[in-house]
Structure 1
């Protein structure tokens, strides 16, 4: 007697789900009114969903994308305001940010990202940690952490150097310059770039082919390759901790205000007085 219990996703609010043929599950970041930016609820759901996916016997392959014109615009600015200088909130964020990455790595089901638009921060973590990442050629993304005055944590240190090499990783993570899909494919940050109108068709084609393949061998291939990421765990943990420490400084306050005002940031640590106060950090 088969006692497997299907996982239901009815209690999710920031994510929506659609079951497709051959065990493909389409997961959509579903807050288009704010460009799928992650508030506290969505951030929690992005940490949790991969365990539910892993436990769901009906799911073989996951395709994850964003509703509307964005994949995810990163952390919601209101959430950022509530977290800054808040020890309990930052401690919780530290755990969840780690869980997003680790739960995707340990999810046995392969994950295909269909990056349909701008991707930043936690949303970009989902897009890049996915096992196969397919992006619209004109979609643009940036890690973006330094734009708000915090270190490049989340997923960056664990995977960017492995995907595109240390020199490109340092350049794009330290400058926070935007990268379009075509360039991301060229330097190896994503698996494939396609014209926007072909994105979902291609992502679902790849997912369907995977779903009809040898499932045990597929999962064990993912497991083997992800040992490279697991080995980088100490680097990842360090980057997360240092990112969170920045939330207790002055720069993140200015960074958030500058984003809301749509102006260049004037970071306190970049002024003469602020730089002198830093000391040998």
Structure 2
């Protein structure tokens, strides 16, 4: 393992095949929720990968039965109470989107169980997104009491159209992997038992392709996201403004109540 990945705590790395780097989001006991450590690591890992000459393709997945269950509620609480934390996470959220978009290496996501929050940013911005049939993709912003900003404002309308984007983002409805494929939100839907092997199969094909051709194809296609930059920046500002208001505090209290005493993926945000 390259030394560049040695100090990561919440992201685990392995090489299933030569030139294929696999990232596993791992927050034990919390269904891989993005706490402060994981959130920061998800921001910077794409720069490390972009600079790594050993990597031709990347897979991102979650440990166990979940992809990622959303923002850690302790971090969300701190954001509602501390302006320094709020502004730090706001900058990280912005950098996370742009770092993934600008990473030259092709990315494959393998989503199962709940796929929410910062993990979902990588899941949907992946060049090839693969979901298990029973995955539950949720943008939980409005349930928390803040605007559905972040990546959602640029990714969902481009992938599945404005009508579907408004329906799922405003109502905070869960999208199964099967439905996500039908509406164009993800590239592929497979049975859960086949998910990891399919992700590896796709990554293998990408790793054997022309690095230059894939890099510049990705760059050109991701200009659709870059052109939506003003929309993204505005939506992100509106989202983070919401964390200073009463709706976010009420939403946080409601979610904490739902998650007791056991951490239920059906209540993940």
TM interval, shorter chain, is over 0.9
Structure 1 counterpart SS, 2:5: coil
Give the paired residue count: 258
Q: 2:114 aligns with which of 114, 118, 132?
A: 118
For 1:110 and 1:198, the matched residues in 2 are separated by 21
Q: Equivalent of 1:210, from 192, 206, 228? A: 206
Number of the residue aligned with 2:130: 134
8 A Cα contact 1:64 1:112, kept in partner: yes
Q: 1:84-123 residue pairs with structure 2 within 5 A?
A: 84-123=80-119
1:49 and 2:57 matched: no
1:250 aligns with 2:233: no
* Structure 1 spans left out of the alignment, 5+ residues: 1-5, 264-281
Shift of 1:215: 1.2
Deviation of the 1:8 alpha carbon: 2.5
User: Is 1:179 aligned to residue 175 of structure 2?
Assistant: yes
Checking the alignment, whether the CA contact within 8 Å between 1:125 and 1:155 is kept in structure 2 is yes
Task: Mark the structure with the bigger radius of gyration.
Answer: 1
Quick one: distance in 2 between partners of 1:68 and 1:203?
16
Q: 4+ residue stretches of structure 1 with deviation over 4 A?
A: none
Q: Distance in 2 between matches of 1:189 and 1:135?
A: 10
Q: Secondary structure at the match of 1:59?
A: coil
Point out which structure has higher relative CO (alpha carbons under 8 A, 6+ apart): 2
Partner of 1:143: 139
Structure 2 CA distance for aligned equivalents of residues 22 and 224 of structure 1: 27
SS in 1 for 2:53: coil
Given that residues 61 and 111 in structure 1 are in contact (C-alpha distance below 8 angstroms), is that contact kept between their aligned partners in structure 2? yes
Runs of 5+ in structure 2 lacking a partner?
260-269
Question: Please, what is the CA RMSD of the aligned residues?
Answer: 1.0
In structure 2, C-alpha distance between the alignment counterparts of 1:259 and 1:21, rounded to whole Å: 40
Asked if the contact 1:135–1:181 (Cα under 8 Å) also holds between the matched residues in 2, the reply is yes
Secondary structure at 1:8 match in 2: helix
TM-score of the aligned structures, taking structure 2 as reference length: 0.94
